[in-house]
Amino acid sequence: MAEGRWAEREFGAAELGDVRRTRRLVKLATAMAERGSTSLPEVCEERAELQAGYRFFSNEGVRPSSMLRSHAQATIERMATESVVLAVQDTTALTYSEHPETSGLGAIAKAGQQGMLVHTTLALTPERMPLGLLEQEVWTRDALVLKKRTTRTTRPVAEKESGKWLTSLAAASRAKAHCPTTEIISVGDREADVYDLFMAERPVGVELLIRAAWNRRVVDAPQPHLWEALAAAPVVATRSVTVPRRPGVTAREATVAIHVQAVTLHPPRHRSAEHLPTVSVAAVWVIETDPPPDTEPLEWMLLTTRPVATAAQALALVDYYGCRWEIEVWHRVLKSGCKVEARQLATVRRLHRCLTIASVVAWRILYASHLARSHPDLPASVLLTTDEWQALSCRVLHTPVPPSTPPSIRTAVRWIAHLGGFIGRPSDAEPGPTTLWRGFLLLAELARLFHTLTPSLPCSTCA
């Protein structure tokens, strides 16, 4: 992503039927990352660029899946250098109730709201470095679907939204073919506790790590159900964990006990006519031993196809599941930073194309935040264009002449965060994606002004 080529790297391989469409995609991604406006006229400053942008988003030949496939290829290249990758999947709702004229929107959870559902698979390292998106499903829901919830247990998975978990697993399995030395672990929350997911075929080296939602029946165990069986299982380790702050709840430290037991799960009773096989998994139960009064104990019941023979393996899985929070951070950047819910493009199809670009832009912000933490001594040129790091240096150092070498990436990211409102007191943590997003928008303006005032230097952002 050096020298301003990040958009070319992520989208340059998109097969959109015409090379001019691919070039337009790269330009739009660059503009959206630099300007971050909710308005296409502000993203595309010139009239000709604006018209081209509207044509792009309206073009039925431009498929979001083809756009995302290019970025997924770049993601898989990054995955191939890792020993373990977590393919974290989750769903979020995008609400467009304030845009009643937008056609094609569907019902979401609350009555009277309209929007679309987005299920994304984000590839992460165990150190929480976001490598990119592997898959993204977007759909709208007819209001009648909400009334079908009472019949969800009798409908096949192909007719239910729970098929999204299988789609994500299939994407992880395809990636495995290009990452022969990488173990890929598909991670899902309680909504992913779908029996079909555990039955699905997986290549060797692709595993599941799912938080259980159902107290399923277990085979040949002293206790007949999952939670009771794990309560009787041995404690293999204890650990102190930080319970993050939530609205109205302060952060706290919790001591948890970790129980491990291999179990074989019965298929659901309501599907007895299908004669489904049992599935064997390892269960890892994380339970707080001494919660404060009037406080719900911290608890995870994790089901995994990965072997768990030692306390170290159990602790690693607990850490891996904790990484799932990063996709929630990505959702926040997508909504609060990229402001995808404020876009006005008249139809769901156009919004979907815009969402695909914004999703990758949001990943880039998250990537920059983590890169500064994990590789602080790398030169800033691995992330920023020459115009950007030189303009940033001049702005922060109050000099008209940029240094001959770029600052470290940690230094540059903190400078960018300062532009976005980060104070950087000694007690402050590293800057987060929200302040970085605001800083990147100001940096783009600085870089353009810097080039205007120093025309003798080559314009790397215009190359």
Q: What are 172-204's pLDDT values in tens digits? A: 999 999 999 999 999 999 999 999 999 999 999
Which of 64-68, 120-124, 426-430 is predicted with the least confidence, judged by mean pLDDT? Answer: 426-430
Instruction: Name the residue with higher pLDDT: 425 or 320.
Output: 320
Cα separation, 251 vs 426, in Å, equals 20
Query: Looking at the predicted structure, is the pLDDT value of residue 143 above 70?
Result: no
- Each domain of the chain, given as residue ranges in start order, spans 375-453
pLDDT at 278: 96
Residue 294 C-alpha from the chain's centroid: 33
Average pLDDT rounded to a whole number, residues 435-446: 82
406 contacts: CB under 8 Å, gap ≥ 6 = 379, 380, 381, 384, 389, 393, 412
Angle of helix 348-374 versus helix 19-35 axis, rounded to 10 = 60
Q: Is the pLDDT of residue 153 over 50?
A: yes
Q: State the pLDDT at residue 296.
A: 86
Give the C-alpha separation, 270 to 368, whole Å: 47
* Radius of gyration of the CA atoms of the chain, in A: 24
pLDDT at 206: 98
Residue 16 has pLDDT above 80, yes or no: yes
pLDDT at 158: 54
Q: Which tokens is 50 given?
A: 């604006």
The dihedrals phi and psi of 138, each to the nearest 5 degrees, come to -130, 130
Mean pLDDT of 416-420: 87
- Residue 122 β-bridge partners: 88, 133
Confidence of residue 70 (pLDDT cuts 50, 70, 90): very high
- Please give the distance of CA 454 from its chain centroid, rounded to a whole number: 38
- The CA distance from 426 to 310, in Å, is 39
Locus of tokens 């800033």: 380
Whether 4 shows a pLDDT value over 70: the answer reads no
Domain spanning 375-453: CATH 1.10.740.10: yes
Which carries the bigger pLDDT value, residue 438 or residue 159?
438
In the structure, what pLDDT confidence band is assigned to residue 152 with cuts at 50, 70 and 90?
low
The answer for residues whose C-beta is within 8 angstroms of residue 228's C-beta and 6 or more apart is: 215
Single pTM value for the model: 0.87
Q: What is the mean pLDDT of the chain?
A: 88
Say if residue 52's pLDDT is above 70. Answer: yes
Among 204-208, 249-253, 281-285, the range scoring the smallest mean pLDDT is: 249-253
Task: Look at 7-21, 279-293, 360-374 and tell me which has the smallest mean pLDDT.
Answer: 360-374
Report, as an integer, the average pLDDT of 403-430.
84
User: pLDDT per residue over 360-378, tens digit each?
Assistant: 999 998 998 888 888 889 9
Percentage of the chain with pLDDT > 70?
Answer: 92
pLDDT of 462 strictly over 90: no
Is the predicted pLDDT of residue 412 greater than 70, yes or no?
A: yes
